[in-house]
Chains A and B, each alone.
Chain A
Amino acid sequence: MNDYLLVAAGVLAGPVIGGLVSGADRIITARVQARVGPPLFQPFYDVAKLLGKEAVVVNVWQAFCAYAYLAASVLAVVLFFLQSDLLLIFFTQAVGALFLVGGALTSTSPFSQIGAHRELLQILTYEPLLVFVIIGIYLETHSFKIVDIFRWPEPLLLKLPFLFVVLGYALTIKLRKSPFDLSTCHHAHQELVKGLLTDYSGPFLALVEIAHWFDVVFLLCLCALFWATNWVGMAILLVVTYLLEIVIDNVTARMTWRWMLGYVWAMGLTLSLVNLIWLYAAR
């Protein structure tokens, strides 16, 4: 019975929390830019409107990929709520990301194609970093299972500070914030029209957006693990991290994939190596 409640919580958390965080993101970004910004529930209006649009496709397999992306993202969050194996959850959300790219690659428009390749490069950039963060958590708590990580007596942030910074890089890329918003971005920041998402439209775009909310929830849960001993501490950590992401988004410009790959791997590997060696030596 408990498990079913957790599953339901996971399935509901995505749209509710993800959507609200998305809305808050837009308001805060607008205020930082001396604008007023949309209402808090704007993302829900956007998704509902998209669901009510005519279904238009470039390639029928886009529909498959949109549903698969949503399914994988939902599954990742549900598994997290069920406190399953962290590495498995990482691989599950990777499935979704790959289907999103696959759907974009099915369209022959150069905007989609280049957007899809940039997205692949983004995935290439952040995946090892997430693996190192998870390994770091394992080296400290001796388990990959979230149920054990929650029982760890002290906040992980104390022993894994550099790995939290590394997680921050992965977070910036996955949240599609500048300077890593190469493949597609929040509304109206165009370069390749909408890049990866150019040829998704209507209900399928709505599914992709909802899946992105689930991704946001997954990433926030991952950050939350770093201060899992205290709800107040967790909330402070999440709020500060997300505000920092918004600030970074607004003070940086979009960079090229070469710079992203080089810089993030260099910094990410160095910081991970240092933190992992500390953990290794402390064992």
Chain B
Amino acid sequence: MFKSFIKKSRIKSPWLLHFDCGSCNGCDIEVLACLTPVYDIERFGIINVGNPMHADIMLVTGTVNHRNKKVLANLYEQMPHPKVVVAIGACGLSGGVFRDAYNVVGGVDKVIPVDVYVSGCPAKPEAIIDGVVMALGKFEDKVKALRTGT
């Protein structure tokens, strides 16, 4: 019974970590717009904690470059399970228009496993919120995977 309450709570209380991996800040502004009173995602229990050790969902924007890929990996490692990653914007998906630049790794999933992709350049706040909600649905699978050890 308590376990089902915890299951429900994971969906009701997702804490975000937002990390900019070399983005032009377009997607970041849209993410921060979600936190403002206009969209007010705190009514879903979402809080932007800046600390990977407190976070459940990591929102990553930007192409990821060879300098900050280690930071991205460190942050992902410091997050306790169960955790989901949402890659935002065209850059986060595949590198966007900067794909061929020499410093660009080209997409978040080249460094850490991504669960939800939110496309757009920049992605709209409504799309981002949709992406986060979709990510919430993935918690169950994550917990099962942890238990079975996959």
Contacts and interface: CB of A to CB of B under 8 A. Distances in A.
B43 A201 contact: no
Interface in B26-59: 35, 37, 40, 42-45, 47-51, 53-54, 56
A45 B12 contact: yes
Interface string A49-87: 101111110000000000000000000000000000000
B74 interface: no
A64 B81 CA distance: 22
B112 to A, nearest CB: 16
A202 B43 contact: no
Interface stretch (A94-102, A186-194, A258-266): A186-194
A34 interface: yes
Contacts of A42: 12-13, 45
Contact of B80 (A34, A190, A202): A202
Nearest to A191: B50
Interface stretch (B3-11, B60-68, B121-129): B3-11
Interface residues of A, number: 34
Contact of A49 (B43, B48, B56): B56
B80 A201 contact: yes
A53 B82 contact: yes
Nearest to A186: B47
A135 interface: no
B45 A46 contact: yes
B13 A46 contact: yes
A35 B9 contact: no
B49 A34 contact: no
Contacts of B103: none
B43 A38 contact: yes
A39 B8 CA distance: 14
B12 A56 contact: no
The 4 closest A-B pairs by CB, nearest first: A201-B53, A48-B9, A52-B6, A45-B12
Given A30-B43, A39-B45, 9 more contacts: A33-B37, A38-B42, A38-B44, A46-B9, A47-B9, A52-B6, A53-B80, A56-B80, A193-B51
23 contacts: A26-B42, A35-B43, A38-B42, A39-B45, A44-B9, A45-B12, A45-B13, A46-B13, A47-B9, A48-B2, A48-B8, A48-B9, A49-B9, A49-B12, A49-B56, A54-B82, A56-B78, A187-B49, A194-B50, A199-B53, A201-B53, A201-B80, A202-B53
